[in-house]
Amino acid sequence: MDINRRLEDIIYEKLNKNINENGFWWDGKWYTNAFLLDLTEATFNVLSRSGFSKGQRLTVLMPNCPMVLALMLACWKLGGSINPLNVKSGADSLLGTLKLVEPFAVVVTEEVKKEAGELIEKSGYPLVVCDEMGALPEFTGKSSTPEDESLAVIFATSGTTGLPKAVPLSHLNLVSNVDGMMDSLRDLKKGDALFNILPNFHSFGYSACTLLPIFIEGSQVIVPGFLPPSRAIKAIVEAPVTVLIIVPTMLNFLISALERGAPRPQNLKMIVTGGDRYNIDMDEKLKTFMGIGNLQGYGITETSPVLAVNKNYEQNRLGTVGPFLKHVEWQLRPDENKPAIPGEGVLWVRGNSITNRYFRDPKTTAARFDADGWFNTGDYVRVDADDYLTILDRVTDIIIVGGFNVYPQEVERIVNLHPDVQSSIVVGIPHPTSGEIPKIFIQRKEGSKITEVEIIHYCKERLAHFKVPRKVEFVDGWPISSTGKILRRVLRER
């Protein structure tokens, strides 16, 4: 594949080549690629009349649905980019990201408008309400400083400062990553039906569940949300799904539902997980209830996102995340806090699938990229003689809750605004279902009697649900190193 081609050119070619084939499954029914092309054309025309043009950004707060596909294709055809966001990310994060991205407009469903419409309108950006199957209504957007036409998608995340940051991925980044996935997962075939349930504001869902099925000339089974798991199982069975791409937490819920008697999938040929650690003890249950085991992969948003994946069941090595994709260059560099061990180190990567910056954030860019374009993943890893990668530890303080990244500094910044809180530290602690959960240690202000229940309620009003601390412990002070740094490691061990 020519990885230098724009996404929409490749996608239009694939859709037109298989115009009367099934393109996507939605709400119990299959729709052809011709339907998707017609929906995209109508969306393109409205966006064009609205004034959307090269370099503009369109923010989308919608569950997984056909309209997300049409919006992304129409934006790219007009030379712009798309910015999918999570409506439940919390008011602080949502407003901060909108201010950073400066979207032409914000497209939402009626449900999202009820939840966050007033907040978005206060931000000053046009709010456009659209049905999950179209059509986009006529509107007038708000132009701002254009970005380079090479930009395709902007994913929001939290920075180590606690303030919103954004990861811009180019057409080259995404095409290269999908091409790498196709090369590695060689058992993928034309006509496979991939499960599209990972949220579109998650880069893994966007690349592996939305773009990959189109690139292999297959189809996608679109489900707007995972809970309750019975809805997901119903779609897997009825569509039916042949390739399940998912995060381990969702897999846990599916197995629990199957153990309680939910109908078993009969057509699955491949399960791939990423986004979080996979408990290899789960593999036998998978084989019992789904007929096959799991192929574990690994990546992060900045790498579009997949860096490595186990290729097939014959070469699968449980406990590893497989070999690197073909477009990825990698290096292991020493961690100053660990002894030097051959084959282990902090993983740095470079290549066509890796972004070259953070969006309008030169300070964070300089902190994570070196002068030669190498990117620090923040993960301490082992690479064996056959280039199979094992994730050993995180160098950064990031917490992964059910596949979603939580930066402690973001939670701490919100909690520290509480009038009864002197200071706080958030760490990740193990959890059997979610992988990790946030625990917060709090130093109260003198005379304060604030309780655990009050802190959690305060967080629920201001943070996305997966960022809310599940446990609270009050302390009188912090463990401090000889250089005056707070020892988060000691708090984790407690």
Whether the bond into 305 is cis, omega within 30 of 0: yes
* pLDDT, tens digit (0-9, with 9 covering 90-100), for 403-422: 888 888 789 889 999 999 98
Burial environment of residue 16 by CB neighbours within 10 A (0 to 12, 13 to 18, 19 or more): exposed
pLDDT of residue 246: 94
Phi then psi dihedrals of residue 211, to 5 deg: -85, -45
Amino acid at 148: D
What are the distances in angstroms from CA 129 to CA 60, 119, 266, 437?
Answer: 10, 14, 38, 34
**CA-CA distance, 425 to 109, in Å (whole number)?**
36
| Tokens, residue 36 | 């998707």
When the pLDDT of each residue in the chain is averaged and rounded to a whole number, the result is 93
Q: Which of the four CATH numbers 3.20.20.140, 3.40.50.2300, 3.40.50.980, 3.90.1010.10 does domain 7-171 have? A: 3.40.50.980
Q: Compute the average pLDDT of residues 330-338.
A: 88
- Residue among 43, 45, 40, 1 at smallest CA distance from 23: 40
How is residue 280 annotated by DSSP? G
pLDDT of residue 485: 56
Check whether 251 has a pLDDT greater than 70. Answer: yes
pLDDT of residue 282: 87
Which stretches of 268-427 are DSSP H helices?
283-290, 362-368, 408-415
Residue 483 banded pLDDT, cuts 50, 70, 90: very low
Residue 460 banded pLDDT, cuts 50, 70, 90: very high
- Are residues 36 and 18 in contact, defined by beta-carbon separation less than 8 angstroms? no
Give the bridge partners for 60, in sequence order: 84, 107
Lowest mean pLDDT among 183-192, 253-262, 387-396, 451-460: 387-396
How is residue 217 annotated by DSSP? T
pLDDT of residue 135: 87
- Where do we find the tokens 């408990």? 279
pLDDT of residue 423: 87
CATH 3.40.50.980, the chain: domain bounds: 7-171
Check whether 297 has a pLDDT greater than 50. Answer: yes
Q: Can you tell me whether residue 383 is helix, strand or coil?
A: strand
pLDDT of residue 332: 97
* pLDDT, tens digit (0-9, with 9 covering 90-100), for 99-112: 999 999 999 999 99
Residue 146 banded pLDDT, cuts 50, 70, 90: very high
- Are residues 152 and 84 in contact, defined by beta-carbon separation less than 8 angstroms? no
Phi then psi dihedrals of residue 44, to 5 deg: -55, -45
User: 49: phi > 0 → left, psi -120 to 50 → alpha, else beta; which?
Assistant: alpha
Check whether 204 has a pLDDT greater than 60. Answer: yes
- Are residues 192 and 213 in contact, defined by beta-carbon separation less than 8 angstroms? yes
How is residue 47 annotated by DSSP? H
- Are residues 204 and 274 in contact, defined by beta-carbon separation less than 8 angstroms? yes
Q: How far apart are the first and last CA of the chain?
A: 51
- The CATH T-level fold of domain 399-493 is GMP Synthetase; Chain A, domain 3 (3.30.300)
- Residue among 3, 6, 9, 11 at smallest CA distance from 327: 3
- Are residues 464 and 115 in contact, defined by beta-carbon separation less than 8 angstroms? no
Check whether 482 has a pLDDT greater than 60. Answer: no
Phi then psi dihedrals of residue 49, to 5 deg: -70, -25
| Tokens, residue 421 | 């809180």
- Residue among 302, 278, 275, 425 at smallest CA distance from 356: 302
Residue 420 C-beta-side C-alpha neighbours within 13 Å: 11
Which stretches of 51-190 are DSSP H helices?
66-77, 91-101, 110-122, 171-184
Distance, CA of 64 to chain centre? 13
Amino acid at 423: S
CATH 3.30.300.30, the chain: domain bounds: 399-493
